[in-house]
Amino acid sequence: MMPDFTRKLLKWNSSKNTRSMPWKGEADPYRIWLSEIILQQTRVEQGWAYYERFIQHFPTVHHLAKASLPAVYKLWEGLGYYTRCKNLHETARIISTEHNGVFPASHEAIRQLKGIGPYTAAAIASFAFKLPYAVVDGNVQRILSRYFGINTPVDTGEGKKLYAELAQSLLDTADPGKYNQAIMDFGATICKPQKPLCQVCVQRKDCQAFAHGWVNELPVKEKILVKKTRWFNYFIMELNGEVLIRQRNGKDIWTNLFEFVLHESEHALLSAYADMHHYLRRSIGHEGFCLKQISKPYKQQLTHQTIVGQFITVELEKPPSQWAGLLVPKKLISTYAFPKMINLYMQNESGMR
């Protein structure tokens, strides 16, 4: 027998759910996978345009696999969480070469692909292959926590197991894709994190959070996110109409994206011309430079940290032999992928875009 929660959710979905998205109802596993990866940590409103551009440039997994990583990064530019992009490209190559472009059709095989976690695997399996796997993300946990009045923290092992089992028990196994899409839409439009539409909610009668006034208290999280602030001083080294850029590497933020010469301060941005001259003399080793301009501060908010940066334009007399990087003509800067904060600066002040 179908649970009341499931029955009411499906009825709401068929009669009142008007949410429209280009990938909704899609059966092609490549397009489903692409949309799900783009939407990780990304609002639908922002991801929509990226999805359409990716489909236009890479209509099949073979097209994506054959593209260069810099080209894929450039198309991804501005979405953040760039590990998603790298994994997307690597997995496309695996599917193209090892599976002849055919997406694996079992949940277990999908789960083995790089960059695909439990939620994405369940979405692909249910939407593309109608396999009975329930999606469980923050939206689903919030809905179930409120409906059943659960105060077990969602970010603990016990909580994750509890919500996964509960979500699976409510799944409509006859049409898991429709159910999964319905509960995702319900969380996005009705049972929202802030200002949920309880007055028009079809689950209101049986919702424990609504009955007891717990709506704004659920779900519970055990861990408190501690954010830090980092100070980035970017030196734009110019020489005869060219600019020195570098590619970020390692396990820090923005891996594989490009940037200018970076000096990270411990406590605050370099604020005085004397500080900047001292850094430049120490770094360049001679007086052959002219400090031209200092930008206003820019800020980019990431999940775990805030990046505050400013841009210092420096004219060089000769190539900086001690610094690795690329000297790129200003007119070609736009062909490289940069972090959002640098793009914002270039659009506003530099004249390089």
pLDDT in tens, 282-337: 766 666 788 888 889 999 988 889 999 999 998 888 776 666 788 999 889 989 99
DSSP code, position 305? E
Report which of residues 281 and 208 the model is more confident about: 208
Q: At what angle do helices 157-170 and 138-148 cross, to 10 degrees?
A: 80
Q: Cβ of 122: how many Cβ atoms within 10 Å?
A: 28
**266 pLDDT exceeds 90?**
no
What's the confidence (pLDDT) of residue 164? Answer: 96
Highest-confidence range of 75-79, 136-140, 272-276, by mean pLDDT? 136-140
Averaged pLDDT, 12-41:
92
pTM of the model: 0.81
Q: pLDDT digit string (tens) for 86-112?
A: 999 999 999 999 999 999 999 999 999
Active site residue 36: yes
Options 26, 36, 77, 238, the catalytic residue: 36
Domain annotation for the chain: domains and CATH numbers: 4-212 (1.10.340.30), 228-350 (3.90.79.10)
CA–CA separation, 132 and 106 (whole Å): 11
Question: Which pair of structure tokens corresponds to residue 204?
Answer: 């209101």
Q: pLDDT digit string (tens) for 119-156?
A: 999 999 999 999 999 999 999 999 999 999 999 999 99
Averaged pLDDT, 43-50:
90
What is the chain's alpha carbon radius of gyration, rounded to the nearest angstrom?
24
